Structure 1
């Protein structure tokens, strides 16, 4: 695959400015069939989450990031996922702790004074 062509396609996808297949083929100076082949290879070989957005009339990445022979999510998205996971774990522990406190409080009422 022509690296310059690949980089240009990646750039257009990141900008969400590809247009439909025929328009993209014209922008890249290749056939529609070649465009479809390259996008299929990017999906398969690079694990690039490429999707055609009918509203935007452009191929887009379904996650923030870009392709450099292998799709890599943007650091911002990785950080957001880690923070979300940490918050969920904290909430789980807090909810378990409050349940235990409620049970303990209920048992304290049953203690003889």
Structure 2
């Protein structure tokens, strides 16, 4: 078993409950960690024997492009899509952070983190 991480994927998106957030958008940071059996890839040195992190990045981009009111909803969609499309992944942990959220205070980010294991 091993972990593949994608750290600080920066994406401009349009999530939020406020109408303005859907029109103006803002910066988001996504962090992703997936667990999978990486033993074969460590010996064969072949892409087909591991989890392709280019595909993981693409899934994150696709799901972040679909507007949602809640970060929790976006995180759930990312998890579901990875578990659906990447058979080798056994566990997904994702955090989605809105940078400088419009919450009436000096807050660097608001972050939601969710994790799920594949059902056997």
- Normalising TM by the smaller chain, what interval? under 0.3
**TM-score, with structure 2 as normaliser:** 0.25
Greater relative CO (CA pairs within 8 A, separation 6+): 2
More helix by share: 1
**TM-score, with structure 1 as normaliser:** 0.26
More strand by share: 2
